[in-house]
A and B are shown apart, each in its own frame.
Chain A
Amino acid sequence: MTVVPAQQQSGGGGGTSGLYDVLELILDRGLVIDAFVRVSLVGIEILKIDVRVVVASVDTYLRFAEACNRLDLETGANKSPGLPDVVGQVTESGAKGKSKGALSGAAETFAEAIGQGRDKAEAEGEPQRRPRRTASRKKEESE
């Protein structure tokens, strides 16, 4: 979770990410009084459109398919007998602590599988496959 206190955003005009996240509130909420003129927001509309990126569905489908293709889940399933247990534990109604544990357990399995895949590839002199999980790494860095 990311908590951005308002004081930090406004202090010294420095904070940027906070502004981006409350921009819509400053621009779209707040009291409007008819007797007051509103300043032209011509410049700002572009910024708002930027916030509201809409991805066409076909693009989304292909992106998801590619992302899952890279997940390498089947290696984990074949090599680790643990996966069926994982499936059993991760249910909508399952205890939250439990499913959290199962998920991170699954993540370890994936990490091992990826590691094994890489070792194997290097040992056999195969060309290195494209790096995985770059998107998630970027995300973590930005947090």
Chain B
Amino acid sequence: MSTYVYGIARAGHPEPEQEILGIGDPPRPVRVVRGGDLAAIVSDCPDRLRPKRRDLLAHQHVLTEAGADGAVLPLRFGSLSDSDEAVQEVLAEHAEHYKAQLDDLNGRVEYNVKAAHREEDVLRRVLVEEPEIRALNEANQASGGGAYQDKLRLGELIANAVRAREVGDAHTVETALTPRAEQSRPGPEGAGWLVNLSFLMRREDAAAFLEAADRLGSDHPHLELLVNGPLPPYSFVRPLESAAAE
């Protein structure tokens, strides 16, 4: 049976007071595999693991629970090893790299911030702020919506105006929140958000960060802000290559 690995911690990482349940149906209990100065947080892996909603949640849940007791390097979802012994070999092989990162991330949490425009609010702003677009819109409205070409031209102008505001607002969000965190990283590429950033901070600084995010939201009511956290520091673990390059 293969071993599912959630994360890597120090060997002294406390045992959880209550049993943590991991992936699988029924959920497999989480255990700790120790090797040298390090420990891996693992469970058995069901025979045919598929990335189901409940398993993604379980991965997140285990890392959150274990992370509450001390630094844990979160592994990407779906990391499997042949056996507990093979996990121990990995811990031993790159122990210094993992220990350095555990020191860096000790007591830190990640918050992910996404922002989008509230569409109707931003369109209203564009119409109010750009006389040319407003005039064209009025002309189209007067002719019952306008011809296809007129609509296309209006729409293109609006799209450009919205894009310009997306760039400006992305900058606004970044400038407002970056000083409140130790590090920031762009989130995975994806459409639908004008900005997607992850921030790393000390756990005790999270309240001030959330306050800043709250203020940002009320200062810019046309922005829809989505703040997720505290999260395991998914975006701030470094792969071996970058450690070698340092």
Contacts and interface: CB of A to CB of B under 8 A. Distances in A.
A123 interface: no
Contact of B227 (A3, A62, A96): A3
Contact of A136 (B57, B119, B133, B146): B119
Contact of B120 (A55, A60, A77, A135): A135
Contacts of B77: 26-27, 30, 39
Given A44-B51, A106-B128, A64 B237 contact: no
B235 A29 contact: yes
Interface of A: 1-7, 9-11, 13, 15-16, 18-19, 21-41, 43-44, 51-55, 57-58, 60-69, 71-74, 77, 83, 86-87, 90-92, 96-97, 100, 103-104, 106-107, 110, 133, 135-136, 139
Q: How large is the interface on B (under 10, 10 to 19, 20 to 34, 35 or more residues)?
A: 35 or more
A83 B232 CA distance: 48
B228 interface: yes
A10 B90 contact: no
A22 B112 contact: yes
A6 B231 contact: yes
Contacts of A16: 53
B156 interface: yes
A23 B56 contact: yes
Contacts of A110: 124
Given A7-B64, A103-B222, A22 B76 contact: no
Interface in B140-176: 140-141, 145-146, 151-152, 154-156, 158-159, 162, 168
